[in-house]
Structure 1
Amino acid sequence: MYNPSAKAARADSRFGYVPPVMVATDPGREKYDGKDVSPIRHTRTDPVSTFSVDVDTGAYANMRRFLSAGQTPPRDAVRTEELINYFRYDYPLPASKAAPFSVTTDAMVTPWNPETRLLRIGLRGYDLPRASSPAANLVFLVDVSGSMNSPDKLPLVKTALAGLSRELRPQDKVSIVVYAGAAGLVLEPTNDDAKIRAALDRLSAGGSTAGGAGLKLAYQIARDNFIAGGVNRILLATDGDFNVGVSDTKALIDMVEKERDSGITLTTLGFGTGNYNEGLMERVADHGNGNYAYIDSALEAKKVLGEEMGSTLFTIAKDVKIQVEFNPAQISQYRLVGYENRALREEDFKNDKVDAGDIGSGHQVTAIYEVVPAGFKGWTDARRYDALPDDKPPAMVGRSGEMAFVKLRYKLPDGTTSRLIEQPVPAMMMWNRRAPSPDFRFAAAVAAFGQKLRGDPLLAGFSMGQVRDLAGSPTDFYRQEFIKLVGIADSLGSAR
């Protein structure tokens, strides 16, 4: 089982560990783009579920920020899949690089409903050794507007980016662009750590926010220093408060998509409280073929830009889509836990022009479905005309048949045509009498926690104490921290 070192909890000389800034804030001033909880689907009429993968983790750190300040996070700020994917699980490495990730499926009785089962689908990307990773052309785009003048904003940005700069190799280079009332280049491309740190130290906050101008200049610098076959990425560090210049969201996304198609990707790093525009941060990163993270402490900076730097920067598969077809002879109803803003149409799965999520080196993706076995009590009454036809295929029924069929499509980093992976899910998984692994139980606990914070009515009878019990007694720092957050949420009465 994956067990990150407990050293993550201690000070790190490279990142200058300090505890998170626990400041209460008015969530009414912050902007989120929440979606309704995924609906129940009837397999007879809607057997296919399609969505884009999501490796963002910003919702977890942002949720932690609220709870650490003694506040319940806004419902729209909670995206359950990002809570689940904040943690690593014991999925096997891919057998070979011919397919960039492994696919794991398992099932267990649902802890909050014995009439249903949880189906977990896990992907794990191969680990790209740092020494053999492609050269990187990175542009740090830093918001130095007046809204960044807070201990949990620009000072933390400096700490985060200084830590990343120490990881540079001779073939890598960094530029620094800033924006406030206007945009400017403050550091020409270099891999000199001392020069990068000095440039960061000189930054100060003040003025309005010309975010659009900053992005334009950052893309220009990235193009001027483009590395063919390498990583060309902008890392945008901001509280997301774009209020001068190209502030229209559609115009920003159009620009990001155009540059994405030319090979320059975008990662967004969110900071701060109060006026935080999380909805914009997530959308811009998604359309920029990058990822979104929220950084609330130097420890989180170390996790995102140190421990997980390879997955943050080095893409091993792009436009990754998952499609699950449920067998109505085995499953009567189902619902996907989370991924509400990643849903795709069934026809989008084979359409290589439809953008989807990317997977970086060593990345993991976990999706959890809650399903109702045929003949068990569902969430809704049986429909009058749902009876199965008498000519159902014999291979598809009985506990020896298939409960579902999983398909994945992906493109290689430099590819334009998708590749397909297919894998049946045996029905026997639903009837396995063995106790679920502690790893699966923990994933289910995180899923339950996220859904309770979202006010999911199907978990109304499952308490925060039961969530804590389900998580078990983990030994690594991040999972132990999760259990503490569950306890805080319980004390606040955060279940809706």
Structure 2
Amino acid sequence: MSSVVSPRAIHASPRLALCLLAGALSACNTSAPSGGTVEAPQAKVEQLAEKSIEARATLPEPVAASANEVAHEAVAVKPAARRGREDARAAGKMATSPLQTFVAAAPAVDALSQPLESRERYQGVKDNGIVLAAEQPFSTFSIDVDTGSYANVRRFLNGGRLPPQDAVRVEELINYFPYRYAEPPRSAQGPRAPFGVTTELAVTPWNADSLLLRVGVKAFEQARTSLPPANLVFLVDVSGSMNAPDKLPLLKNALRLAVDKLPPTDSVSLVTYADGTQVVLPPTPAREKARILAAIGQLRAGGSTAGEAGIQLAYQMAQQGYRPGGINRILLATDGDFNVGISDFGQLKSMVEEKRRSGVSLSTLGFGTGNYREDLMEQLADAGDGNYSYIDTLNEARKVLVDEAASTYSIVARDVKIQMEFNPGVVAEYRLIGYENRTLAREDFRNDKVDAGEIGAGHSVTALYEVSLKGHKGLLGESRYARTEITTDGRFADELGTLRLRYKAPTGGASLEQAFAVGAKNPARIEAASEDLRFAAAVAAFGQQLRGGKHLGDFDWTRIEALARGARGEDAFGYRGEFLRLLRLAQSLTTPAPQAALRVTE
């Protein structure tokens, strides 16, 4: 099929893109010579849509990327037409599948000649540097359970583009995947600790002279039905900027999935904002599913974006339905494009920080492309003691709001901080991979006034350190002038360092602290390390490569894929298999180095 179709032909005809995505080129009227156009009869559109998901994977990646890009842009330039389709669908005249809405949206060909202006915004991130353990043995950071960066990176790659470097937060890529970490042991002497800790040491796959230390933190599992009753407020952006198939229609389907699985003891409120704000649904028992789903179904997009007023009203609804001792959480679903009321980022963040004192958490669900404000979404969730997710597909919505609902809604520990004290008698240098916007000063670790991240039931968090031991080749070298003599206690010669965790109970109060010695003996060869360490290392290398790969040496895409493929292991949800596909996409979109290009031409 694709052998007769060129990317040029795809960009000339949105209908051809739809035919390709549907795997049904034969349904088009012509055979698409290079540079030509193909038109499919309108009656075939819904049939093409139904076939698209399965057949898309069979296209060569450059063709699939071009088809995805054209079809996606095709639906983004006709808001009036989209609004009409939404109204028709509400009247039962059109199928409710987001993909069918997407397929039916192809505009005239000349609309594609107008490129979309990207107004997406990301917080700047500067990679952590290499640190001398003799000068700075303490590494301190806040825990991070967000995974939004991974889904956002996936969206870029599936669209045929590499993500901006600042969109890649390596720790969120690593933490997207479940790992087999030990849960905290039960104690007969007192309350159970909220999480267990796992450490592992192996040779770094991209640097034979250094070691990779994996630190895993796992909160105890809790079934969704065993959690206390939840008071949930869905705060939905229905402004004009949400009028696209990957925004409000996807958002509505995501909320339907969430509501369908809520236990009857929960309650739901629905607040919207556009030019103004509206309480679409006051606190309503989750057992009244028909009423809640009807309220979600009537949502329509249009107008400007009064986000600040919407947040204020959502907190009022949360207080109206407040559950003492229960879960009280706002889920803000938006593209983050606030333009009415408080639009200054600092003011918005301060407002949410002040509101969290009421006992209500705020999480964010990001949607859409083009004007997406990820910088706002991530930090609002941090300020609101919540978590940030990006929803690019209905499968991702199910992962966040159904499969991992206990983690998304609940909190088992607040203000969780990690501090690794490296033994300078053993360790020469170290580097924390990721967590650049979570780092804390050493003195912040025991300062309970300093905010940190929350962890929910079943959440796992992974941190990776690249460590160079004394006597091994490092990257910093020795100073000609400065000499630091290290005197260490011989009793600790077998310790790489000490890992400390500090946290508060879900209800707050005084912080508790745990400490664990990390051994330095017998690091494993990377081939003999656990599947989880090897896979996490591959994801870390993937993220670093997307950010320029300055610490990876000659550890290229091919070697990253080999490491990930060999560590795929049990993959119940298919996440690791999908990662391998994204890895290949990233490789195909990366411009090869001159030496590599020369070898290919030879």
* Larger Rg, first or second structure (1 or 2): 2
CA 1:101–1:19 in structure 2 vs 1: closer, same or farther (change >3 Å)? farther
CA 1:19–1:337 in structure 2 vs 1: closer, same or farther (change >3 Å)? farther
1:383 is displaced (CA, Å) by: 2.7
Name the CA distance, whole Å, in 1 between partners of 2:591 and 2:150.
15
Query: Residues 225-283 of structure 1: CA distance to partner in whole angstroms, max 9, x if unpaired?
Result: 11100111000000000111111112211211111111000010000000000000000
1:18 is displaced (CA, Å) by: 6.1
Matches within 5 A, 1:414-433: 414-430=507-523
Q: Does 1:479 align with 2:576?
A: yes
Q: Does 1:87 align with 2:87?
A: no
- Which residue is equivalent to 1:158? 252
Amino acid at match of 1:93: E
CA 1:46–1:222 in structure 2 vs 1: closer, same or farther (change >3 Å)? same
Bigger mean CA offset, 148-157 vs 22-31 = 22-31
Query: Residues 309-337 of structure 1: CA distance to partner in whole angstroms, max 9, x if unpaired?
Result: 00000100110000001111111000100
CA 1:461–1:307 in structure 2 vs 1: closer, same or farther (change >3 Å)? same
1:169 to 252, 259, 263: 263
Secondary structure of the 1:334 match is strand
- Which residue is equivalent to 2:554? 461
- Which residue is equivalent to 1:352? 448
Name the CA distance, whole Å, in 1 between partners of 2:315 and 2:490.
57
Name the CA distance, whole Å, in 2 between partners of 1:294 and 1:424.
36
Bigger mean CA offset, 48-57 vs 222-231 = 222-231
- Which residue is equivalent to 1:111? 205
Is the 8 Å Cα contact of residues 200 and 214 (structure 2) preserved in structure 1?
A: yes
- Which residue is equivalent to 1:493? 590
Name the CA distance, whole Å, in 2 between partners of 1:449 and 1:304.
23
Name the CA distance, whole Å, in 2 between partners of 1:433 and 1:301.
35
Name the CA distance, whole Å, in 2 between partners of 1:99 and 1:386.
43
- Which residue is equivalent to 2:422? 326
CA 1:145–1:405 in structure 2 vs 1: closer, same or farther (change >3 Å)? same
2:279 to 185, 192, 202: 185
- Which residue is equivalent to 2:468? 372
Secondary structure of the 1:124 match is strand
1:133 is displaced (CA, Å) by: 0.6
Name the CA distance, whole Å, in 1 between partners of 2:382 and 2:256.
25
Is the 8 Å Cα contact of residues 53 and 342 (structure 1) preserved in structure 2?
A: yes
Amino acid at match of 2:172: E
Matches within 5 A, 1:11-26: none
Amino acid at match of 1:347: E
Name the CA distance, whole Å, in 1 between partners of 2:416 and 2:591.
34
Is the 8 Å Cα contact of residues 153 and 239 (structure 1) preserved in structure 2?
A: yes
- Which residue is equivalent to 2:400? 304
Is the 8 Å Cα contact of residues 31 and 278 (structure 1) preserved in structure 2?
A: yes
Amino acid at match of 2:547: R
CA 1:193–1:434 in structure 2 vs 1: closer, same or farther (change >3 Å)? same
1:49 is displaced (CA, Å) by: 0.3
Amino acid at match of 1:285: A
- Which residue is equivalent to 1:138? 232
1:289 to 374, 380, 385: 385
* Structure 1, gaps ≥5 residues long: 1-8
Q: Percent identity?
A: 52
Secondary structure of the 1:457 match is coil
Query: Residues 441-474 of structure 1: CA distance to partner in whole angstroms, max 9, x if unpaired?
Result: 0000000000111113111421111110011252
* Structure 2, gaps ≥5 residues long: 1-52, 55-95, 107-111, 594-602
Is the 8 Å Cα contact of residues 18 and 298 (structure 1) preserved in structure 2?
A: no
Bigger mean CA offset, 333-342 vs 86-95 = 86-95
The structure with higher relative contact order (CA 8 Å, sep 6+) is 1
Is the 8 Å Cα contact of residues 246 and 392 (structure 2) preserved in structure 1?
A: yes
Q: Does 1:442 align with 2:539?
A: no
CA 1:310–1:354 in structure 2 vs 1: closer, same or farther (change >3 Å)? same
Higher helix proportion: 2
- What is the total number of aligned residue pairs between the two structures? 480
Secondary structure of the 2:510 match is coil
CA 1:17–1:359 in structure 2 vs 1: closer, same or farther (change >3 Å)? farther
1:21 is displaced (CA, Å) by: 7.8
Name the CA distance, whole Å, in 2 between partners of 1:48 and 1:20.
53
Is the 8 Å Cα contact of residues 140 and 235 (structure 1) preserved in structure 2?
A: yes
- Which residue is equivalent to 1:340? 436
Bigger mean CA offset, 486-495 vs 320-329 = 486-495
Name the CA distance, whole Å, in 2 between partners of 1:50 and 1:196.
44
Is the 8 Å Cα contact of residues 308 and 340 (structure 2) preserved in structure 1?
A: yes
Secondary structure of the 2:348 match is helix
Bigger mean CA offset, 432-441 vs 468-477 = 432-441
Query: Residues 298-355 of structure 1: CA distance to partner in whole angstroms, max 9, x if unpaired?
Result: 0000000010000000100110000001111111000100000000000000011111
Name the CA distance, whole Å, in 2 between partners of 1:27 and 1:94.
49
Query: Residues 5-24 of structure 1: CA distance to partner in whole angstroms, max 9, x if unpaired?
Result: xxxx99xxxx9796998999
1:132 is displaced (CA, Å) by: 2.3
2:339 to 221, 237, 243: 243
Secondary structure of the 1:353 match is coil
Is the 8 Å Cα contact of residues 526 and 534 (structure 2) preserved in structure 1?
A: no
Q: Does 1:274 align with 2:364?
A: no
Q: Does 1:315 align with 2:411?
A: yes
Name the CA distance, whole Å, in 1 between partners of 2:250 and 2:149.
18
1:429 is displaced (CA, Å) by: 4.5
Name the CA distance, whole Å, in 2 between partners of 1:84 and 1:20.
33
Q: Does 1:220 align with 2:316?
A: yes
1:415 is displaced (CA, Å) by: 2.3
Secondary structure of the 2:521 match is helix
Bigger mean CA offset, 302-311 vs 124-133 = 124-133
Name the CA distance, whole Å, in 2 between partners of 1:491 and 1:141.
39
Is the 8 Å Cα contact of residues 501 and 515 (structure 2) preserved in structure 1?
A: yes
Bigger mean CA offset, 113-122 vs 460-469 = 460-469
Q: Cα RMSD over matched residues? A: 2.2
